A and B are shown apart, each in its own frame.
Chain A
Amino acid sequence: MTNKKTKDLITAILFIVLGLTAIFALIPSGVIVPGSVQISALSPDFWPYTIAWGVVISSCFLLLETFTLKVPEGDEDASEDAEYKLATLQATLRIVILIFALFLFYFALTTVGIVAGSIVLMPAMMLYFGERQWKYIIPLSILIPIGLYQFFLHVAGIPMPLGIFETLL
């Protein structure tokens, strides 16, 4: 089975599970239907059910497509830096680390604020992506978050949350 076929198969199964979860769990528990609904198509849960069934039916079509139609093969990775692609395990680990760091950044925002959070995150991300020249890392990591803060404050009139550093800027 080709890579593209595998992807289509995973997509179909994933969406069937998603659609059925919506039909049997998410919609019954997440959509409140008032007792006064006279036309069933006007009920608050009609549209979500219609979409969820649409997902299930379309996924079945995709499943059928996967087994009956040939997938035209294109370039697997036509992007310009395909040669730099890492091995699966290493790539997965890097993705997990990045996602963990981004969510950690989000949870730190309420305490340290967007500006200080960004000043810490930017050099970490630059180092993570391979930048090693401190003459770029340090000034950019400080100037960009502060510059953006000033832009949004003075031009758009939107003050960014500063957390514990509220009194500094």
Chain B
Amino acid sequence: MIENISFALDLFLSLENFLVIGIGVLIGTIIGAIPGMTTPMGVALVLPFTFSMPPVTGILLLLGVYKGGLYGGSLTAILIKTPGTPAASCTVLDGYPMAQKGQARKALDIALYSSCVADLISNISLIMFAGILATFALRFGPPEFFTLIVFSLTIIAGVAGPSLTKGILSACLGLMLATVGLDLVYGTDRFIFGNFELMSGLNFIPVLIGLFALPEIIDRSTRGPRLGGSQRSQLGGGATLAEFRKTLKSVVRGSFIGVILGAIPGIGGAPAAFLSYSEARRNSKNKENFGKGEPEGVAAAEAGNNGVAGATMIPLLALGVPGDVITAVILGAFMIHGLRPGPILFEDNLPMVYALFMGILLSSFYLLIIGKIAIRGFSKVALIPNRILYPIVFVLCVYGAYAVNNNIFDILVMLCMGLVGYLMLRLDIPVAPFLIAFVLGPLLEDNFRQSLLLSDGSLSIFVRNMICIAFWILTALSIFVLVRSRIEASRTGKASTLTTGG
């Protein structure tokens, strides 16, 4: 053991490694903050630079981009209501109202501190529980995934807007849109109507940008120009340690939610962020402030989102199974260097695994430093008057939507989604369930159909073990609690404390 750690230190302690982690986090933060530039895109862009690097250095660079990207998504989510990642759409719920109230700096600080703590907890969990969690995740087959996604969508539908029913309708719309393209099993057309651009389905980036950024710009048309000055005269002060300490319980809880969901391949940060947010609200003394600019809401969302970062490495390192698109790219980097993650990696290259752990731990501290610098730069965006900011945001959105596939059609998708988003805004329908359902839709349908293939069409497969049953019970409980809360709200005339924006 000590010998392995000594070898690992030899591998890790070099100026090159210390530099690349910082550079990676910086690149990731910038990419995450630009709408249309995604973290997977950032990791993929950096990948070619790692070919000539030693394996540990190259992989640490990619991990830095990954962690920076997860945090960077929250910057624009808070400042201009344009989440850089689907998971950051949960940060919008309280982050943007805080920025509107002149507390942009505080929201950004809370997001950063929560991200760093969650990242650290996730990294420590990766080191301590990689084996145990990987074994648990290995027990997940298609029916377990299906029930888990159903549970996640219920939570998202329930907590993201003023009513569960509207949340479900929004999620259904997202699921329906996700079916556009070729059928997964038979390869036949679904809602293509002769347009070949739709054959591969709709990309989630133009959908994300359209749903979140454009409605805000269109809605601004309903208001006349202000009489001079900027709309937010101040950014407000940063968060104090005491303020952050108040949110610590939610941060720790959210981090563990992120760790558990992150260890399950394919789930990603968005359900973790929403589940963490929902739990924070359920346990908070300030339930009624959630959705109106509650720092604890920002903290919980970011903790859930970043708690996933280290944990997604668990199935990758322990089983060789990538947890999401980004870890799939990182798996590619391992393979380029002639390494195959999985149990054999732990037997043959343990010092290298330890060296990666050391680098991953260091990345949390880099995130804090680079995040602080990024906040200073990016927070000034909040001071730009809307009459100048919105045209800039729109042009940025156009470039971002095009850049995803080098396709002008994606700009049309973004504009159409903007109209849908605006209509949803006017009707008080939350857009987050739409987006998350759109992202998880193919996974949900795929697991549903795989389950039925396994069981020859018998639905009993969805209650085949305790994991499935537990998720069904949790789903039923969530619906029961949300419905009861709505009925109570009707009796008292006060908005439900379990939902946002009510």
Task: Tally B residues with Cβ within 8 Å of A.
Answer: 81
Beta-carbon contact of B403 and A156 below 8 Å: yes
Beta-carbon contact of B165 and A58 below 8 Å: yes
Taking the complex as formed, is A55 at the interface, i.e. its CB lies under 8 A from any CB of chain B? yes
Beta-carbon contact of A30 and B193 below 8 Å: yes
Cβ contacts B375-402/A at 8 Å (1 or 0 each): 0000000000111101110111011001
Cβ contacts A85-96/B at 8 Å (1 or 0 each): 110000100110
Beta-carbon contact of B391 and A125 below 8 Å: yes
Q: Which residues of A contact B402 (CB under 8 A)?
A: 114, 158, 160-161
Q: Kindly name the residue among A8, A72, A97, A159 whose own CB sees the greatest number of chain B CB atoms within 10 A.
A: A72
Known contacts A58-B168, A69-B490, A106-B412; A79/B100 CB under 8 A: yes
Beta-carbon contact of A129 and B386 below 8 Å: yes
Q: How many angstroms between the C-alpha atoms of A85 and B399 in the bound complex?
A: 30
Beta-carbon contact of A81 and B226 below 8 Å: yes
In this complex, the interface size class of chain A, counting residues with CB under 8 Å from chain B, is: 35 or more
Beta-carbon contact of B453 and A42 below 8 Å: yes
Beta-carbon contact of B191 and A30 below 8 Å: yes
Which one of B190, B226, B453 contacts A31 once the chains associate, using CB atoms below 8 Å? B190
Taking the complex as formed, is B477 at the interface, i.e. its CB lies under 8 A from any CB of chain A? no
Which one of A11, A37, A110 contacts B429 once the chains associate, using CB atoms below 8 Å? A11
Q: Kindly name the residue among A10, A34, A158 whose own CB sees the greatest number of chain B CB atoms within 10 A.
A: A158
Taking the complex as formed, is A80 at the interface, i.e. its CB lies under 8 A from any CB of chain B? yes
Q: How many angstroms between the C-alpha atoms of A11 and B426 in the bound complex?
A: 10
Known contacts A11-B169, A91-B222; A148/B395 CB under 8 A: yes
Taking the complex as formed, is A41 at the interface, i.e. its CB lies under 8 A from any CB of chain B? yes
Beta-carbon contact of A62 and B165 below 8 Å: yes
Beta-carbon contact of B218 and A156 below 8 Å: no
Cβ contacts B420-462/A at 8 Å (1 or 0 each): 0010001111000000000000000100110011001100000
Chain A binding surface, main DSSP class: helix
Taking the complex as formed, is A84 at the interface, i.e. its CB lies under 8 A from any CB of chain B? yes
Beta-carbon contact of A129 and B225 below 8 Å: yes
Within 8 A of A (CB), among B159-212: 163, 165-166, 168-169, 172-173, 175-176, 179, 183, 185-186, 188-193
Known contacts A70-B493, A73-B493; A44/B399 CB under 8 A: no
- What residue in chain A is nearest B404 (Cβ atoms)? A158
Beta-carbon contact of B395 and A62 below 8 Å: no
Q: How many angstroms between the C-alpha atoms of A136 and B169 in the bound complex?
A: 43
Taking the complex as formed, is B309 at the interface, i.e. its CB lies under 8 A from any CB of chain A? no
Q: Which residues of B contact A157 (CB under 8 A)?
A: 45
Known contacts A61-B165, A80-B101, A158-B406; A42/B452 CB under 8 A: yes
Cβ contacts B217-230/A at 8 Å (1 or 0 each): 11011111110000
- What residue in chain A is nearest B449 (Cβ atoms)? A42
Q: How many angstroms between the C-alpha atoms of A77 and B429 in the bound complex?
A: 15
Q: How many angstroms between the C-alpha atoms of A97 and B501 in the bound complex?
A: 29
- What residue in chain A is nearest B395 (Cβ atoms)? A118
Which one of A4, A58, A99, A140 contacts B169 once the chains associate, using CB atoms below 8 Å? A58
Beta-carbon contact of B399 and A80 below 8 Å: no
B53 CB → nearest A CB, Å: 20
Q: How many angstroms between the C-alpha atoms of A15 and B167 in the bound complex?
A: 13
B211 CB → nearest A CB, Å: 15
Beta-carbon contact of A144 and B457 below 8 Å: no
Taking the complex as formed, is B266 at the interface, i.e. its CB lies under 8 A from any CB of chain A? no
Beta-carbon contact of B388 and A126 below 8 Å: yes
Beta-carbon contact of B457 and A126 below 8 Å: no
Q: How many angstroms between the C-alpha atoms of A141 and B387 in the bound complex?
A: 13
Which one of A37, A79, A95 contacts B221 once the chains associate, using CB atoms below 8 Å? A95
Task: Supply 20 A–B pairs (Cβ within 8 Å), ascending by A.
Answer: A30-B191, A31-B190, A34-B188, A39-B452, A40-B457, A42-B453, A44-B183, A51-B176, A55-B176, A69-B487, A70-B490, A84-B224, A84-B226, A95-B221, A97-B221, A98-B218, A122-B392, A129-B220, A152-B403, A156-B403
Could you tell me which B residues sit within 8 Å of A by CB distance?
37, 41, 45, 100-101, 163, 165-166, 168-169, 172-173, 175-176, 179, 183, 185-186, 188-193, 217-218, 220-226, 231-232, 292, 385-388, 390-392, 394-396, 398-399, 402-403, 406, 408, 411-412, 415, 418-419, 422, 426-429, 445, 448-449, 452-453, 456-457, 486-487, 489-496, 501-502
Could you tell me which A residues sit within 8 Å of B by CB distance?
4, 7-8, 10-11, 14-15, 22, 26, 30-34, 37, 39-42, 44, 47-48, 51-52, 54-55, 58-59, 61-62, 65, 69-74, 78-81, 84-86, 91, 94-95, 97-99, 102-103, 106, 109-110, 114, 118, 121-122, 125-126, 128-131, 136, 140-141, 144-145, 148-149, 152, 156-161
